[in-house]
């Protein structure tokens, strides 16, 4: 049973997001910082839930699969109210950007509300929730990758930093790499603060060239953590097969 609207926590920061600015940053840089989305208590809540086995449907030990070094866990249904709220309330603004991208790339558009995306995922055989929490200790890192879980892939996702950089951990920067056609790849390093979010493409973004728009592939990962523990909440909007 999914959480009801009365279960949803207060997230006032979501009301003031500048979606025009976020879209412009995604077009220009390939990622967009949102500012603080969660308060310290909400961040601590997400860290604490990491050790509650019943909250998760799957756990991945990254070294075992040569993904990097660390551990991440996918939430089970029903999602925690905080995660469900983030997924539902962030989606419409991101869908506006995604639909603009779909138009210039000649692709099918996306539903205006997250419920519609979940229904499309179900029709494609994708029923498993994909939001997750990641934990890295000293020497932990994440190889460059893309979060594709089936044929239907919503083009944008979000990370929220749950610790304070240079206090709770050192190192552990978020890394994005833009693979430009017939050019060398462009690296980008981002260091969100406690409770701050970063929006970025799952697979690619449109870029205008001399012959119109083309797809620029994006991958993301995490550089090595030098000390302490780094926790991140990942909000992926499409479900997995």
For residue 225, the domain's CATH number is: 2.60.120.620
Name residue, tokens 């994708």: 126
pLDDT at 17 (0 to 100): 97
Q: Is 54 helix (H, G, I), strand (E, B) or coil?
A: helix
Between CA 99 and CA 96 the distance in angstroms is 5
Phi and psi at residue 49, in whole multiples of 5°?
-70, -20
User: Cβ neighbours of residue 72 under 8 Å, at least 6 residues apart?
Assistant: 59, 60, 62, 132, 133, 134, 135, 234
In a domain, 241, yes or no: no
Name residue, tokens 């790499």: 177
In a domain, 200, yes or no: yes
Q: Model's pTM, two decimal places? A: 0.94
39-71 pLDDT per residue, tens? 999 999 999 999 999 999 999 999 999 999 999
In a domain, 47, yes or no: yes
Number of domains in the chain: 1
User: Checking DSSP bridges between strand 71-75 and strand 141-145, what pairing results, if any?
Assistant: unpaired
In a domain, 11, yes or no: no
9-49 pLDDT per residue, tens? 889 999 999 999 999 999 999 999 999 999 999 999 999 99
The domain of 39 spans 17-236
In a domain, 9, yes or no: no
In a domain, 8, yes or no: no
Q: Are 194 and 156 in contact (CB under 8 A)?
A: no
In a domain, 72, yes or no: yes
In a domain, 7, yes or no: no
Between CA 164 and CA 204 the distance in angstroms is 29
């Amino acid at each position: 049973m999914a959480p009801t609207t009365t279960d949803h926590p207060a997230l006032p920061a979501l009301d003031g997001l500048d979606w025009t600015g976020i879209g412009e940053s995604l077009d220009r840089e390939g990622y967009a910082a949102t500012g603080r989305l969660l308060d310290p208590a909400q961040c601590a809540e997400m860290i604490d839930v990491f050790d509650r086995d019943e909250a998760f449907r799957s756990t991945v030990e990254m070294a075992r699969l040569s993904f990097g070094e660390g551990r991440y866990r996918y939430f089970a249904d029903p999602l925690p109210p905080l995660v469900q709220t983030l997924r539902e309330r962030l989606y419409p603004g991101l869908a506006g950007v995604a639909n603009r991208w779909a138009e210039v790339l000649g692709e099918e558009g996306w539903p205006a509300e997250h419920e519609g995306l979940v229904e499309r995922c179900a029709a494609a055989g994708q029923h498993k929730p994909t939001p997750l929490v990641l934990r890295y200790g000293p020497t932990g890192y994440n190889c460059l990758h893309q979060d594709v879980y089936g044929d239907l892939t919503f083009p944008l996702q979000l990370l929220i930093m749950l610790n304070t950089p240079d206090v709770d951990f050192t190192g552990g920067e978020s890394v994005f790499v833009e693979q430009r056609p017939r050019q060398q790849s462009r690296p980008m390093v981002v260091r969100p603060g406690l409770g701050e979010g970063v929006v970025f493409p799952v697979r690619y973004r449109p870029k205008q060239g001399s012959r119109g728009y083309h797809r620029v592939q994006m991958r993301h990962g995490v550089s090595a953590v030098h000390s302490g523990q780094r926790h991140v909440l990942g909000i992926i909007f499409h479900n997995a097969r």
